[in-house]
Amino acid sequence: MKISLSLFGILVLIMSACMPEVSKEEVPLRKPNILLILVDDLRPELNCYGAGHIISPNIDALANESVLFTRAYTQQAVCAPSRNTLMTGLRPDELGITDLSTHFRTKAPDVVTLSQYFMQNGYISEGMGKVYHTGHGNQNDVFSWSNPHWTPNSIIKKREPVISGDTTKLHTCIPLIDGKKIPWLKSRMPEHFHNDALVASHAMDRMGALKDTSFFLAVGLVKPHLPFVAPSKYWDLYDPSQITIPFKDKPDEYPSYSFSNWGELRKYHGIPAEGLLMDPDAINMIHGYYACVSFIDAQVGRMIGRLKELGLYENTIVVLWGDHGWKLGDYGEWCKHTNYEVDTRIPLIVRDPRNKNNEGRQSDAIVETVDVYPTLCELAGLEIPAHIQGSSFQAVLQDTVDWDDVAFSQYPRTTSIDGQSVKVMGYSMRTSDYRLTKWINIETRETLDMEFYDHSIPLPEMINLAAMDHYKDIIPMLNQRLEEEYEKEHGKSLTE
């Protein structure tokens, strides 16, 4: 018996020696998984973005293993259009949708969405939480997912109602007083009852179920969207006496329609129909927002931890993306809905586990939401679909290119001109040093007004410099580039 084993061992060694050596590159690897974390109303006010007052250890840890983009911008600072752009790779004007209620397939019925494209290329694509905007009559997209999109709504509906005096729906994340939503609340509801905790838990379950496949998971977290309801322990992380209210001044010489009346917040209990918030209310708002950010940070940490537990972290590309910014008392304003930096600049963090040389790197390359779709395609080794308007920033992630680009955003308004109601659109272009915003009559394509801001000076978006002689040579050049880029992207002129 011993002789037989020895002979067998010798034969194995001989056969092994005769076999050609297989390099690591020739071993077929499973396609990288994608974890796309979408966060609603998250401005780039995180510790990893230099905001030392924010407690965000889990996102900070992710950033330390990723490329963090310091100058990423959304195409429109409101939920539905920004998410449409992310998922379709098309800008708002190309889709022809700048409102909250119009489903993107009414304008582009055959467009292949980001998750749908990965599904067509062998991935299991699943969505949970807020991926598409589903309020205001809008709805989810059934074609984007391998399995039905998941929300925690059915779980929440089964709970026993919790009421305290005139406050109802305390068993949910949207409590009411006298039938109106409460803008902020230090919640005593168990953390795992909160919507985003349920969504994160479902994502973690799906990671386990799909661990032997190639998956694309889009996980949409609602906070820090209004109302600012978070478990009390996250409120306790912040001392309200240390919270500073931003300056309430608006830019000099700004067009009257540049800002909104923050109607989104005006509908909440205790919020005045007009005018500024009282300082105590402003502090509560900011405090609540911070608490929600730290709560969301914890959910990100849970999901990343689950990837590691399952041994999937080193084969999963992770993207953390905010749909737009949010004004926390900036200019005396609240909510989003403008073309200003505070609303259009977003957090964007991308971790490619194969890209070890760039872990913890910050990039000041100007990138856009519309660029995420083609970038994920390239990272996964997929051909970029022909309809895509954005540009892949894979080379930026690999630090192999000098990136010279600009970002575009837009926002619609209705104003009164000569007693007539007129629809206008503000088209904004952000370069490395400047922001140019051009307001156009949508019907006539006539230019109505211009804003110009110099980001190389302190408080850059506090003085509209469009009429200053010092910039008389720069502004026409930027205006020409805005016109040229628009025509290149859309095949038509921006103005007549």
Would you mind telling me the total number of residues written for the chain in this entry? 496
Options 48, 103, 133, 324, the catalytic residue: 133
H or E element in which residue 319 lies? strand 316-322
Residue 191, CA distances (Å) to 58, 115, 205, 291 in order: 17, 30, 18, 13
Whether 395 and 67 have beta carbons less than 8 Å apart is answered as no
Options 18, 48, 53, 79, the catalytic residue: 79
Specify the 3-state DSSP secondary structure of 112.
coil
Q: What phi and psi, each to the nearest 5 degrees, are found at residue 205?
A: -65, -40
Catalytic site includes residue 133 = yes
Catalytic site includes residue 53 = no
Query: What is the widest separation between alpha-carbon atoms in the chain?
Result: 104
E runs forming strands in 20-152 = 33-39, 67-73, 124-129
Query: Which residue's structure tokens are 């998922």?
Result: 87
Cα(240)–Cα(287) distance, rounded to whole angstroms?
6
Active site residues: 79, 133
